[in-house]
């Protein structure tokens, strides 16, 4: 009887639910969101004011597609139909987003693609880069001489004023100015020109002028939004000033800058005797890193295969005191007389179409040979840098610059244990997560080059301790634009 009394409220509730027609219908399913697809955007690179055709569609497994929305990372919303033409997009590189809505009000995930709108008729191609331009010594007596050295890439023509004229991409020349002279180098390509300056002071009072020991930008070229480091070292100056909003600075220091356009920075060093100036140019590539999210249909991943090094461009530089020797081999370590040696590897990446998206890049050093006992315990860290040096002739003409200039460390490219295995290194990014290889392809570069060295110059054992990487390979996977 007690059990019946306990069950009575439940029985009454069930009866009410069955008899009441106002009870809601219980659904055991849920609405599926629609899916969006970008069919085409034509052309992918357009002149400002010219029409661009957009086409997309959507599907819905349990309903119908009733609305469309297109938007740009620069202009915002600009389309509400499946297919249309427009000529209203601003200049720049746009990430295009497309989504659809179903009849229950649900929106799909956004699909993405990329287009670039440029000024009509504007030239395209890589921007010149002045890696270095300096005079040594910076001060001479009347009748004396100095050597001007330079290194330039991506230029179709290079010239230096004050009677020097047209010059090669890398080299040096001896000058004997009669008076204090400012030399300007101009590098030109289809995209425009950039300049840098250096000064040679002549006169009996010149010994009292400040000395600009160095003024550099590393890296000399950056992607829009990235930063570079200005470094300088000045002696015998009472005031040091850098323009472009930097202002007064210490005689030796560094400063990170992020210019929005290609910019020339000028350092002015002053004391009671006079002033000395030097400039450096930072090239800015206005390219947007392609979004990693694939559009539909998914583009097939292609590969370069195992690219061998370019033997005629590979080399190594050894430093003995103030002299430098260039070798055709790729040995890194130290020689028998405790002379440090650094290796340079060059790979041809011209087969990758400009604008491709890099998905993987592996530098394979496993086919190395060695001489002696090159270990990290005695030679410090084993380091791999991105470093654009040009070719073997550049190593010969600017050996001091290439030996002493630090490139951009590859992400994970500093090893403190021995040996590292399997001697295969991912080389898509720098240690600061800059997608440098992607930027190279986006800028139309046809070379990917590396510098390999130990952090300690020598282990002091008077024995050659070297790794040789003559059989290194670079394999790059990518999707075409």
CB atoms within 10 A of CB 229: 12
**Rounded distance between C-alpha atoms, residue 222 and residue 214, angstroms:** 20
**Rounded distance between C-alpha atoms, residue 274 and residue 209, angstroms:** 6
Pull the structure tokens for residue 224.
């829009």
> Is residue 39 over pLDDT 80?
yes
Query: Tell me, what's the pLDDT at 68?
Result: 92
Query: Tell me, what's the pLDDT at 292?
Result: 47
* Closest alpha carbon to 448 in 389, 383, 406, 400: 389
Q: For 165-184, b where at least 16 C-beta lie within 10 A, e where not — what string? A: eebebbbbeebebeebbbbe
Q: What SS3 state is found at 134?
A: strand
pLDDT band at 92 (very low <50, low <70, confident <90, very high): confident
- Is there a contact between 319 and 339 (Cβ–Cβ < 8 Å)? yes
Query: Tell me, what's the pLDDT at 443?
Result: 87
pLDDT tens, residue by residue, 220-255: 888 877 889 999 999 999 889 999 889 889 999 999
Is it true that the peptide bond before 219 is cis, omega within 30 degrees of 0? yes
- Is there a contact between 202 and 176 (Cβ–Cβ < 8 Å)? no
**Rounded distance between C-alpha atoms, residue 421 and residue 381, angstroms:** 15
pLDDT tens, residue by residue, 439-451: 999 888 999 999 9
What φ, ψ does residue 108 adopt, rounded to 5°? -80, 170
Query: Tell me, what's the pLDDT at 207?
Result: 56
Beta-bridge partners for 114: 95
**Rounded distance between C-alpha atoms, residue 72 and residue 94, angstroms:** 6
Beta-bridge partners for 230: 217, 255
Query: Tell me, what's the pLDDT at 41?
Result: 87
The alpha carbon of 43 is separated from its chain's Cα centroid by a whole number of angstroms, namely 26
> Is residue 375 over pLDDT 60?
yes
Query: Tell me, what's the pLDDT at 25?
Result: 38
């Amino acid at each position: 009887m007690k059990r019946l009394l306990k069950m009575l409220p439940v029985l009454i509730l069930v009866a009410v639910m069955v008899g009441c027609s106002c009870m809601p219908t219980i659904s055991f399913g849920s609405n599926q969101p629609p899916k969006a697809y970008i069919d085409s955007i034509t052309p992918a690179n357009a002149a400002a004011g010219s029409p661009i055709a957009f086409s997309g569609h959507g599907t819905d497994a349990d309903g119908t597609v009733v609305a469309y929305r297109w938007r740009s990372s620069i202009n915002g919303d600009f389309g509400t139909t499946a297919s249309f033409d427009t000529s209203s997009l601003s200049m720049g590189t746009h990430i295009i987003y497309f989504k659809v809505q179903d009849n229950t009000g649900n929106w799909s995930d956004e699909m993405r693609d990329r287009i670039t709108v440029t000024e009509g008729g504007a030239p395209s191609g890589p921007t010149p880069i002045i890696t270095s331009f300096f005079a040594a010594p910076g001060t001479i007596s009347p009748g004396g001489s100095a050597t001007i050295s330079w290194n330039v890439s991506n230029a179709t023509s290079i010239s230096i004023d004050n009677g020097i004229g047209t010059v090669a991409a890398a080299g040096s020349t001896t000058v004997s100015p009669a008076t204090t002279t400012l030399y300007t180098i101009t590098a030109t390509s289809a995209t425009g020109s950039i300049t840098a300056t250096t000064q040679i002071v002549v006169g009996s009072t010149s010994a009292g002028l400040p000395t600009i020991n160095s003024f550099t930008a590393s890296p000399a070229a950056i992607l829009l939004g990235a930063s570079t480091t200005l470094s300088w070292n000045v002696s015998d100056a009472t005031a040091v000033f850098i323009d472009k909003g930097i202002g007064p600075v210490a005689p030796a220091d560094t400063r990170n800058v992020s210019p929005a356009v290609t910019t020339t920075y000028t350092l002015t060093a002053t004391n009671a005797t006079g002033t000395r100036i030097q400039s450096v140019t930072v090239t800015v590539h206005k390219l947007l890193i392609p979004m990693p999210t694939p559009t539909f249909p998914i583009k097939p991943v292609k590969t370069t295969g195992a690219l061998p090094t370019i033997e005629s461009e590979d080399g190594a530089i050894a430093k003995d005191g103030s002299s430098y020797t260039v070798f055709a081999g790729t040995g890194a370590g130290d020689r028998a007389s405790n002379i440090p040696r650094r290796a340079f590897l060059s790979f041809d990446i011209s087969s990758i179409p400009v604008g491709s998206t890099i998905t993987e890049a592996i530098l394979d050093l496993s086919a190395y040979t060695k001489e002696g006992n090159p270990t990290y315990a005695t030679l410090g860290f084993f380091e791999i840098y991105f470093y654009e040096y040009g070719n073997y002739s550049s190593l010969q003409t600017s050996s001091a610059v290439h030996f002493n200039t630090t490139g951009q460390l590859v992400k994970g490219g500093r090893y403190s244990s021995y040996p590292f295995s399997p001697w295969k290194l991912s080389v898509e990014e720098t240690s600061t997560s800059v997608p440098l290889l992607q930027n190279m392809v986006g800028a139309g570069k046809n070379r990917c080059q590396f510098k390999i060295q130990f952090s300690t110059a020598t282990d002091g054992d008077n024995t050659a301790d070297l790794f040789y990487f003559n059989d290194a390979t670079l394999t790059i996977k990518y999707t075409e634009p």
